[in-house]
Amino acid sequence: MDQNRLLKEAQEIAAKYPFYMVRGQLNHLYGYIYQSSDGKTKYAIDVIFDENFPNEPPQIGFRQQVPNLPSEIQLLSLSNWSTDSHVIEIIDELAQIVKKYVEPDSRVKEEESNNSNFEVQQNNQQQNETQIKENIEGQKGIAETSQETSIATEEYITPDLNVYPDDLYAEWNNSQDQLESINDQNIIVEEGTRISENYEQQIIDENVLKTPTYSSEEIVDTAGNLILTTEAALIQQEYAMDFIEGTLGIVEVYLTITLDQTFVIRINFTEYPKRPILEVPEGIKSILGDINESIQILKKWDVSHPPHVVDIIHELESKLWFLTDLETEVNMISGEYKTELVNGILSHLKINLYTYGFKEFGLEIDLSKHPEKPSIKYSKELNELINTPVENLNSYKNWTKGESHCVDIIRESQWLVDKNSRINFELSLLRSAMKDVNYNPNDNSITAKLEGKMKTEGVSFEFKVSLSPDYPMAVPKIELISKLEEQEELKVKLVNQIKTFTASWHQFSYLIDLFNDISKAIFEVSVISCVICHKIECPECNKKISAANPEDQCQVKCPSCERLYHKYCWNTTISSFKKCGFCLRPPPPNMVHID
C-alpha cells in the first residue's frame, strides 16, 4: 500500500468532510457524509483501505440505516474505478444520493402527504429515480473534471497542511456526539456512535457498497485532533514511537543511529502549529548544543506555514548521522587503548595511557565536531610529563578533514609518554650514581660530570648526551666536552669507549651503563692520595683511599673542602688541631671522630 497516496486521499476527504482516523490508522477512516439543517440527523460511513489499494477501491459501509435508501446502489465512481481515481469522488457521489433520499423536494413531500393512490406514488417514485439518474450523470462529470484537475496540478510528496479542514468543521461535533471512552493504549481515542446490533445493514456489492466487517473500535472524534493525528501518523510511518501521558500530541520517538546508539526523543506538539517542544538526552545536547538553535526547522519555525513534526526528526537524524563515522573512530581507539564513554556519550571519551612501571596517565577527548579536529584535554600528570601542548603535535597540526583519525593523535601522545618516561628513568639512574647531572628540555640534552685526580690534581670530566626525537629507538649523541690537554691518552680511551657503546646501541640500552664504564676507566688512571700522609694506603688498615668497591677503601671526606683523608689521618688531625688540615675549618660534631 502506497502510504503517500493513502495520506493524500485522507487529506482530500478531510478537507471536505469531517472524517477521522480510527485508532490513529490512516487505512481506516470514519466520518459523516450527511447532517440535517437542525443538526439532529447525521449519517456516518467507514472507509477501509486494504493492501490492494489503489488497484482496488476501498470498502465503504454505513454505520446506521439510512431511511428510504435502496438496499443496492449503483455508483459510477466505483464502476469506473482505476488507479488514477480518487476516493473523494465515491464519497461525493454517495453523499449526494443520501441527501436526495433523505431530503426529497417540497413537491414530492406534498404529493406523498396528500395522495395515497398507488399510481401517484409510482409516478413520484419514477420522478425521483429520474432525478437521481440525472444527478449521478452530473456527478460523474464533476468527478472526472476534479480528477483531471487534481492530476494536472497536484503531486503530493509530503502532506500539505493547507488542505486540512478549517475550524468551521468543529460545528459537526456536538454534545450528543462527544465520545465516551479512552482506550488502554497510549493515545487519546474515543468511541464513535455504536452500531445497533438489530439494524439492517445496506450492501453495495459488485459496484455496490458493502458494509465492512470490523470489531467495535474507539475513534478520535474531535476536529481539533485531526491535525495532531496526522502528524503522529507521519512520524509512526518512519519511526518507532510511544504515545505518552495518554495525550495524542506527546510522543517518545526512538531514534537509532548506530547499533549501540539509540536516542529517545520526547516531542510535545499539542499546540501545533506552534513550535513543538523537544526533550533530548544529554548526549545530543553535548553534540548539538541548544536544540532550538542547532535545528534549523525549529529555529526558523513559521506558525503560518508550519513544517511537519516528522521533518524535525529528519533534520535531527541527519545531524546525528555522523555518529556512524564517530563509532568507527571510537572503535579504532578502543582497539588500542583503554577507553570509557563519559556519561555514556559516544563523542566524549576518557582514555588511559600506560608506560614504564605500569604508570597510568589520563586524557579526555571530545569528538562532537568530528570530522573537524577533536578537543583533547590532558590530565595534570600527563601534561607535566610530556610538557608539549596538543596543538604542537604533528598529527594535530597536520589534521586533514575526512582523512585524519583521532587515534593518530593518541599514538603520538603515547609515544611522548613512553619517551619522557624513559628519559626520567635514565635521569633517576644517573643521579643515583653521579653528583652533577642536569637535563635541558629545550634541546633535549643531558650533561653529566665525573671527578678524577691526576697526580694529586683534581680533574673534571664533563659529558653531553643529545637525545634525538626518536630516542630511545635512535642512538643518542654522546660527547666528551672536557679538554683534557694533559691527559691525551685517557681522552682517547674515553672516546673509544663512547664509540663502542653507541655502535652497539639498541632501545633497551641505558646511559648509566656507559657512564659506569667511563667511571672505571677514569678511576684506573686516577691517582688519589691522602691530603695528610700523601699515601694511597692507610697507615693503620692498609686499605686504599679509593677503590671501585666502597668496602675496600678507607676514606673520609672533609665536608667543607671535600679533600680526602684516611680515617686514621682524619681522626688524628681533628683530635690534635680541631680543624681540617687543608681548609682549617672545624668539622661538624658528628665527624669529630670517625669509627
397 or 24: which carries more pLDDT confidence? 397
pLDDT of residue 414: 92
Cα–Cα distance, 25 to 588 (Å, whole number) = 100
Which three cell numbers, joined as nine digits, stand for 345?
556519550
Residues 204 and 268 in one domain: no
pLDDT of residue 306: 92
Last residue of one domain, picked from the residues 257, 291, 321: 321
HSE of 493, CA atoms in CB hemisphere, 13 A:
15
Residues 579 and 520 in one domain: no
Residues 30 and 72 in one domain: yes
Last residue of one domain, picked from the residues 286, 321, 356: 321
Containing structural domain, residue 474: 434-525
144 or 403: which carries more pLDDT confidence? 403
pLDDT of residue 216: 35
Cα–Cα distance, 241 to 251 (Å, whole number) = 7
Residues 263 and 392 in one domain: no
Cα–Cα distance, 85 to 56 (Å, whole number) = 10
Residue 542, in any domain of the structure: no
Percent of residues, the chain, with pLDDT higher than 90:
23
What average pLDDT does the structure give for the chain? 77
Residues 244 and 171 in one domain: no
pLDDT tens sequence across 458-516: 677 888 999 988 888 899 999 888 877 667 777 888 888 888 888 989 888 888 888 88
pLDDT of residue 288: 80
Residues 286 and 304 in one domain: yes
Residues 20 and 120 in one domain: yes
Residue 424, in any domain of the structure: no
Cα–Cα distance, 323 to 347 (Å, whole number) = 8
pLDDT of residue 411: 94
HSE of 593, CA atoms in CB hemisphere, 13 A:
3
CA 396 to chain centre: 22
Strands, E assignment, 198-355: 218-219, 240-243, 250-256, 262-268, 277-279, 338-342, 345-354
Residues 508 and 449 in one domain: yes
pLDDT band of 189, cuts 50, 70, 90: very low
Handedness of CA 300, 303, 308, 309 (dihedral sign): positive
Determine if the pTM surpasses 0.75. no
Cα–Cα distance, 274 to 298 (Å, whole number) = 10
Mean pLDDT of 446-453: 80
pLDDT tens sequence across 331-378: 899 899 999 988 777 788 999 999 877 789 999 999 888 888 999 999
Q: Is 50 exceeded by the pLDDT of residue 220?
A: no
Cα–Cα distance, 182 to 541 (Å, whole number) = 110
Q: How many domains does the chain have?
A: 5
Residues 63 and 211 in one domain: yes
CATH number at residue 70: 3.10.110.10
Q: Is 70 exceeded by the pLDDT of residue 140?
A: no
Residues 403 and 274 in one domain: no
Residue 572, in any domain of the structure: yes
Residues 67 and 203 in one domain: yes
Residues 26 and 149 in one domain: yes
Residue 418, in any domain of the structure: no
CATH number at residue 584: 3.30.40.10
Residue 295, in any domain of the structure: yes
pLDDT of residue 359: 86
CA 223 to chain centre: 39
Residue 262, in any domain of the structure: yes
Long-range pairs for 476-480: beta carbons < 8 A, 24 or more residues apart: 476/502, 476/505, 476/511, 478/502, 478/511, 478/514
Backbone φ, ψ for residue 389 (5° rounding): -65, 150
Asked if 98 contacts 43 with a C-beta cutoff of 8 angstroms, the reply is yes
Last residue of one domain, picked from the residues 194, 222, 250: 222
Residue 105, in any domain of the structure: yes
Residue 425, in any domain of the structure: no
